[in-house]
């Protein structure tokens, strides 16, 4: 059972907008910034969003992040087949004195 709760799966058709949630608590998301990662099959994770809503250089502007209270969200607009991957949120947790990952969301492009 992950400290951060993500839906195990999400799906959409090409061109659609999908959103993936990450729910935590006051000791983690409520107090610290959130990061999002994309993991394509058989590859290492890739940083997608940092500091809640910032995109690293080279990441498409179709990806956006937001945070409110103890929840965060990753949105993907103009869905493309290459977006099919696993997505993870991560944040520092004061109670655990360590980093915690969400359980991951598998995105399927129908």
Partner 1 sequence: EGQLVESGGGLVQPGGSLRLSCAASGFTFSSYDMHWVRQPTGKGLEWVSGIGTGGDTYYSGSVKGRFTISRENAKNSLYLQMNSLRAGDTAVYYCTRGAAGFDYWGQGTLVTVSS
Which of these ranges, 14-22, 39-47, 59-67, 70-78, lies near partner 1 under the rule CB under 8 A? 39-47
Q: In this complex, which beta carbon is closest to partner 1, that of residue 68 or of residue 97?
A: 97
Of the candidates 7, 23, 25, 50, which one interacts with partner 1 according to CB under 8 A?
50
Q: Could you say whether residue 100 binds partner 1 (CB under 8 A)?
A: yes
Triad 9, 25, 65: Cα angle to 5°: 55
Q: Could you write out the DSSP letters of every residue in 21-57?
A: EEE--TTTTTTS--EEEEE-TTS--EEEEBTTTBPPT
Q: Could you say whether residue 40 binds partner 1 (CB under 8 A)?
A: no
Neighbour-count burial for 86-110, b at 16+ CB within 10 Å, e otherwise: bbbbbbbbeeeeeebbbbbbebebe
Q: Could you say whether residue 35 binds partner 1 (CB under 8 A)?
A: yes
Q: In this complex, which beta carbon is closest to partner 1, that of residue 77 or of residue 101?
A: 101
Which of these ranges, 18-26, 59-67, 72-80, 102-110, lies near partner 1 under the rule CB under 8 A? 102-110
């Amino acid at each position: 059972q992950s400290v951060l709760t993500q839906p195990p799966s999400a799906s959409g058709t090409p061109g659609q907008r999908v959103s993936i949630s990450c729910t935590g608590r006051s000791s983690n998301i409520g107090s610290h910034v959130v990061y999002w990662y994309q993991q394509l099959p058989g590859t290492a994770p890739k940083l997608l969003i940092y500091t809640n809503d910032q995109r690293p250089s080279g990441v498409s502007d179709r990806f956006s992040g937001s945070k409110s209270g103890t929840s965060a969200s990753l949105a993907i607009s103009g869905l493309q087949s290459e977006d099919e991957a696993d997505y993870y949120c991560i944040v520092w947790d004061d109670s655990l004195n360590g980093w915690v990952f969400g359980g991951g969301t598998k995105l399927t492009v129908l």
